Structure 1
Amino acid sequence: MQFTHEREFTYTRAYRGPIRCVILDWAGTTMDFGCMAPAVVFRQVFEKAGVPISLEEARIPMGAHKRVHIGLICEIPSVRRRWVETHSTEPTDDDVGRMFADFIPMQEACLSEYSQLIPGTLDVIGECRKRDYKIGSTSGYLPGMLAINQADAKKQGYVPDATFGAGDVKRGRPFAHMVLRNILELDISPVQSVVKVDDTLTGIEEGLNASCWAVGLAISGNEVGVQLDEWDAFSEEVKQKHRDRIYPTMYQRGAHYVVDSIADLVPCLDDIEARLRRGEQP
């Protein structure tokens, strides 16, 4: 009798070490509570093109490369209908290109107005440093825009170890390219030791596509889309309604954890460390 048990089992290995790197988004995650800067400029760009859009429409594709973002706004049925009513033709790639060319200087001109670090950022970065985590970062912004963010962040005491934006890779979010560029630059291994933190759904996917842990920030970024003083003025009932709407959406998109903002991140890191010690994987 020939035994075939060796064909009936597979064998795997599990990483049981610590977190080695945390990769953070920029707007809505570490600075610009409410992710206001890009949303405001998308509205200005479409208004200049003769097709005003709402703040909600401007936010739908948030996290993507900004040219891709403009193209995706054009695909929103309500926007596309208004475009045809205004221009008597469907929006074209040339139209997207012209709006993107307008977007770049308009975005760079206003970034510093929205560059205040989100409360808790420096405390969490400090805790990560104590644990010897590397700090990476990704963004849908282009290099010139990111340079402004980095300069403003440095003045406030935040300097990540690596930064890659959508202009640095062939494919932006939800593809994993920017996360993987960080991992390579920072010489991190394995990918299971990396945590991606983002306020957008496509940013959560970015982390998952790199086989990392993914933490969604429900309140400080795009999904609520209000500045800190406005959020603070909401009643607890209104705040909870936002949480009840956003938390399930982020979990459904695949986030391992969802919290309000970066200020709530450390307990997630603690739990990931415990899960890694047990041999669990993202």
Structure 2
Amino acid sequence: MNYSNPTQLQAAILDWAGTVVDFGSFAPTQIFVEEARGPMGMGKWDHIRTLCDQPQVAECYRQVFGRTPTDDDVTAIYERFMPLQIEKIVEHSALIPGALDTIANLRQQGIKIGSCFGYPKQVMDKVVELAATHGYIADHVVATDEVPNGRPWPAQALVNVIALGIDDVAACVKIDDAVPGILEGRRAGMWTVALICSGNALGLDYEGYRALSSDNLACERKRIHAMFEGSRPHYMIDTITDLPEMIADINKRLANAEMPQTS
């Protein structure tokens, strides 16, 4: 048997908040202060650990408890965090405008829909349940506690590849609104698409995004493009509604024997 490059995409691995649901990615941040947006996209225990390692947060903790946060402290915060997180998910479960039509477009092209997020399964189950009431059901879902390491490691994306029966990682595209999710896709050997305006980076709801002046939007795009630059996404677009054009371009590049790992 000889190896041959894939010639078209077989799967899209979608993030959740800021990508398909919850324009602005508010549910993961509402329990904490605004600093929570910094390490967005990581598994939630790692997210909390990273927050606690920030000097200003560690110092506030030391002033109250006489020490900086240990891993046991992080676990205790995490366990308190989960029930509150489920409450916020219910408040921010609406689909991003145009998401269903875009996903239907992908399915019509024979593209399977995988998904992963930084939530553990107990929270992810609620996200999936709520999304189904709005008409969105992914072909496969992987929670962060179902793999040894969550994002930015590639495990969740690769579990989707296996579960969906995809024969080559280069036939997959990872779509995400956070840097760890783009790194996940890159490390998994996939094409990657960063979402600039619908997620954590811009941090506005749909109405706030639509209300931005063209000059302000251009400034925000420039800022967010710079933020993503180091993770090397293959594409950067505003929202998931812009995805079909990128899918068409990736298919052209695959047909020309171009691979994501060399781009």
TM-score range normalised by the length of the shorter chain: over 0.9
Match of 1:116 in 2: 94
Partner SS for 2:27:
helix
Could you tell me which runs of 5 or more consecutive residues in structure 1 were left unpaired when the two chains were aligned: 1-11, 44-53
What is the alpha-carbon distance in structure 1 between the residues aligned to residue 200 and residue 52 of structure 2? 19
Match of 1:3 in 2: none
What is the alpha-carbon distance in structure 2 between the residues aligned to residue 124 and residue 175 of structure 1? 27
Partner SS for 1:90:
coil
What TM-score, normalized to structure 1? 0.89
Contact 1:251 1:257 in 2 (8 A): no
Spell out, residue by residue over 1:78-131, the C-alpha distance to the aligned partner (whole angstroms, 9 max, x if none): 212222223221111121111001001111122111000001211111111110
What TM-score, normalized to structure 2? 0.95
What is the alpha-carbon distance in structure 1 between the residues aligned to residue 202 and residue 64 of structure 2? 30
Match of 1:27 in 2: 17
Runs of 4+ in 1 over 6 A off after TM superposition: none
* 1:29, distance to aligned residue in structure 2 (A): 0.4
* 1:244, distance to aligned residue in structure 2 (A): 0.6
What is the alpha-carbon distance in structure 2 between the residues aligned to residue 147 and residue 91 of structure 1? 29
Match of 2:68 in 1: 90
Match of 1:104 among 82, 90, 97: 82
Partner SS for 1:219:
coil
What is the alpha-carbon distance in structure 1 between the residues aligned to residue 92 and residue 205 of structure 2? 9
Please state if 1:161 is matched with 2:139: yes
User: What amino acid sits opposite 1:203 in the alignment?
Assistant: G
Please state if 1:251 is matched with 2:241: no
Larger Rg: 1
Please state if 1:230 is matched with 2:208: yes
Contact 1:14 1:281 in 2 (8 A): no
Match of 1:139 in 2: 117
Partner SS for 1:214:
strand
My pick for the range that moved more, 229-238 or 62-71, is 229-238
Match of 2:8 in 1: 18
Could you tell me which runs of 5 or more consecutive residues in structure 2 were left unpaired when the two chains were aligned: none
Partner SS for 2:194:
strand
Match of 1:270 in 2: 248
Match of 2:174 in 1: 196
Match of 1:130 in 2: 108
Match of 1:185 in 2: 163
Taking only the aligned residue pairs, the percentage that are identical comes to 37
* 1:14, distance to aligned residue in structure 2 (A): 5.2
What is the alpha-carbon distance in structure 2 between the residues aligned to residue 251 and residue 270 of structure 1? 23
